[in-house]
Amino acid sequence: MKRAILPGSTGPDGRPATLGVMGGGQLGRMFVQAAQAMGYFTAVLDADPTSPAGLIAHYHIDTGYLDEQGLAQLMQRSAAITTEFENVPAPALITLGAHRPVSPGADAVAVCQHRAAEKAQFRRAGIACAPHAVIETADALAAVDAALLPGILKTSSLGYDGKGQLRVETLAALADAWAALGRVPCVLEKRLPLAAEVSVIVARDAGGTLVHFPVQRNLHRDGILAVTEVPARGIDEATQQRALDAARAVAESMDYVGVLCVEFFVLDDGSLVANEMAPRPHNSGHYTIDACDLSQFDLQVRTTAGLPLVAPRLHSPAVMLNLLGDLWFGADGGERTPPWPQLLALPGVHLHLYGKASPRRGRKMGHLTVTAPEFGQARVVALEAAALLGLPPF
């Protein structure tokens, strides 16, 4: 097992030991906050000078992910390194990994970056995923089985929040859609009848110890996560157990070290199908900050620093609402400030804003977690909060 970077220890320069993170988005910001709570210094590599994590880290290296000097600086600063952005190029992680403990490793991140590789990994781990075809050539396009329609054509890499996806009904529409996506490598997935969506977040250390959060139920709107509910409302115990077992199996199949989120579809017939996975904390786990005794970011700090993992405990049922940039615009299209005082007057509301200066439609600006002693109470308050924000009920 790798040597731990102990809390309270100092680096070679006499300053507190530093944990580094590739990527400066909100996930990196919440990692930085968790690391700082334990006394670590933090270093963020992100080209954006105003990145949410870079703004609050001790060291911000504002270069691209493959910049040699930037990577050298990150290594020089950091005793161990993690990632918050799944599209960090594998070569960057390999470079870092040659000199510092890096988790998750380049191999696992590469699998999660590519839909076809990800589906192959699910299969190897014995987990069902949506019927699909890999489309990388015109021949592969011509050979597509019409039974996959109606389907969703997804770019194999770099998609997020429903970007890089087109719904297709016919083979002719499929050809047009592939052209519209630039004929890049894609996966065509059969569109499945979803009864619900759930996700599971696990953390695994180099010794193979694995702990997990409870199953989360997720509601997406326009391909973007909108609401997470925990415990997972309406999802029976057996289905939850299958999701937990599948998340464990895929983490073990990759000898994964770090925090991993696996997203699933629950189909109308009750079966469970893996959708995709993220080699990092996940938006559906943000509630863990306020509702669990250890958050997904605390566990990322522990796996990064090589510290012991213990099972996190949900101490309060929770409902999380994502706050997208849309909420900063009124019905007339003019800018407005969401009604924070009214929201904060509700019991059990925890507001998180990521420090992003310019709201844009679909941009994740923050989230709000409602906790309560009983799930029903949290849901009532979350519905009130949604109404105040002008969001539809769920």
| Partners of residue 152 on adjacent β-strands | 167, 189
Tell the smallest beta-carbon distance from residue 333 to ligand ATP (Å): 26
Binding mask 85-124 for ligand ATP (x = CB under 6 A): ----------------------------------------
Q: With CB under 6 A as the contact rule, which of the stretches 18-26, 67-75, 98-106, 154-162 interacts with ligand ATP?
A: 154-162
Tell the smallest beta-carbon distance from residue 193 to ligand ATP (Å): 8
Binding of ligand ATP at residue 25 (CB under 6 A)? no
Look-up of token digits 């925890």: 350
**Among 57, 109, 152, 292, interactor with ligand ATP by CB under 6 A:** 152
Binding of ligand ATP at residue 161 (CB under 6 A)? yes
**Among 2, 58, 114, 191, interactor with ligand ATP by CB under 6 A:** 191
Tell the smallest beta-carbon distance from residue 162 to ligand ATP (Å): 5
Phi-psi region of 306 (alpha: psi -120 to 50; beta: other; left: phi over 0): left
Residues 32-71 that bind ligand ATP (CB under 6 A): none
**Closest to ligand ATP by CB, 68 or 222:** 222
Binding mask 250-269 for ligand ATP (x = CB under 6 A): -------------x------
Phi then psi dihedrals of residue 91, to 5 deg: -60, -35
Map the chain to HEC letters.
CCCCCCCCCECCCCCECEEEEECCCHHHHHHHHHHHHCCCEEEEECCCCCCCCCCCCCEEECCCCCCHHHHHHHHHHCCEEEECCCCCCHHHHHHHHCCCCECCCHHHHHHHHCHHHHHHHHHHCCCCECCEEEECCHHHHHCCCHHHCCEEEEECCCCCCCCCEEEECCHHHHHHHHHHCCCCCEEEEECCCEEEEEEEEEEECCCCCEEECCCEEEEEECCEEEEEEECCCCCCHHHHHHHHHHHHHHHHHCCCCEEEEEEEEEECCCCEEEEEEECCCCHHHCCHHHHECCCHHHHHHHHHHCCCCCCCCECCCEEEEEEEHHHHECCCCCECCCCHHHHHCCCCEEEEECCCCCCCCCCEEEEEEEECCCHHHHHHHHHHHHHHHCCCCC
**Among 162, 185, 325, 339, interactor with ligand ATP by CB under 6 A:** 162
Q: Judged by CB under 6 A, how many residues of this single chain contact ligand ATP?
A: 18
Binding of ligand ATP at residue 184 (CB under 6 A)? no
Q: Within 13 Å of residue 152, how many CA atoms lie on the same side as its CB?
A: 15
**Closest to ligand ATP by CB, 99 or 360:** 360
Binding of ligand ATP at residue 189 (CB under 6 A)? yes
Binding of ligand ATP at residue 158 (CB under 6 A)? no
Q: With CB under 6 A as the contact rule, which of the stretches 90-98, 153-161, 308-316, 349-357 interacts with ligand ATP?
A: 153-161
Binding of ligand ATP at residue 220 (CB under 6 A)? yes
**Among 89, 97, 223, 339, interactor with ligand ATP by CB under 6 A:** 223
Q: With CB under 6 A as the contact rule, which of the stretches 23-31, 59-67, 155-163, 350-358 interacts with ligand ATP?
A: 155-163
| Partners of residue 39 on adjacent β-strands | none
Distance of CA 272 to the CA centre of its chain: 20
**Closest to ligand ATP by CB, 192 or 206:** 192
**Closest to ligand ATP by CB, 179 or 194:** 194
Q: With CB under 6 A as the contact rule, which of the stretches 34-42, 102-110, 160-168, 288-296 interacts with ligand ATP?
A: 160-168
Binding of ligand ATP at residue 298 (CB under 6 A)? no
Question: Which residue ranges make up the site for ligand ATP (CB under 6 A)?
Answer: 130, 152, 154, 159-163, 189, 191-192, 194, 197, 220, 223, 263, 275-276
